[in-house]
């Protein structure tokens, strides 16, 4: 099990969700969020779980006041490090559109330069192998 505490949450577009009805007065943006101070559990430390955690943390920092208590995040993974190392020899794709081969998603998370630097790149229109 891997545990980590990060400061994470959603974008400005989902600040109040279904709690607010049409015509309700909203608190100032960035001063309230229904996840402030709560715990978020991410099941799985694979590409989806870790990508969610990274994007969520960055979105919180960019969208809300530093005085707003961020939620904590705990990431649970069932596989041990030894099991994961033994499972090699497969490929994975992050889909975006056919042209970029998933690079848009990686770039939006601010990880493209690091991924490309650690990748064996090919000549197949932007596809990369980690």
Note the pLDDT of residue 90.
55
Specify the 3-state DSSP secondary structure of 106.
helix
Q: Using a cut of 0.75, tell me whether the model's pTM lies above it.
A: no
Classify residue 1 as exposed, middle or buried by CB count within 10 Å of its CB (0-12, 13-18, 19+). Answer: exposed
Classify residue 56 as exposed, middle or buried by CB count within 10 Å of its CB (0-12, 13-18, 19+). Answer: buried
Q: Name the phi and psi angles at 9, rounded to 5.
A: 180, -165
CB 116 within 8 A of CB 125: no
CA distance 28 to 31: 6
Read off the pLDDT of residues 2-36 as tens digits, 9 standing for 90 and up. Answer: 444 333 333 334 444 445 555 665 555 556 788 88
Read off the pLDDT of residues 60-72 as tens digits, 9 standing for 90 and up. Answer: 888 887 888 889 9
CA distance 74 to 58: 16
């Amino acid at each position: 099990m891997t545990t980590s505490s990060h400061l994470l949450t959603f974008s400005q577009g989902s600040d109040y969700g279904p709690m607010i009805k049409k015509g309700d007065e909203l608190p100032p943006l960035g001063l309230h969020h229904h996840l402030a101070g709560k715990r978020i559990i991410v099941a799985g430390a694979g590409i989806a779980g870790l990508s969610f955690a990274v994007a969520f943390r960055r979105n919180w920092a960019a969208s809300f006041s530093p005085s707003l208590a961020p939620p904590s995040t705990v990431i649970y993974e069932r596989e041990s490090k030894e099991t994961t190392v033994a499972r090699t020899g497969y490929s994975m794709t992050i889909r975006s559109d056919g042209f970029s081969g998933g690079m848009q998603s990686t770039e939006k998370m601010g990880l493209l330069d690091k991924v490309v630097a650690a990748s064996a790149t090919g000549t197949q229109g932007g596809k990369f192998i980690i």
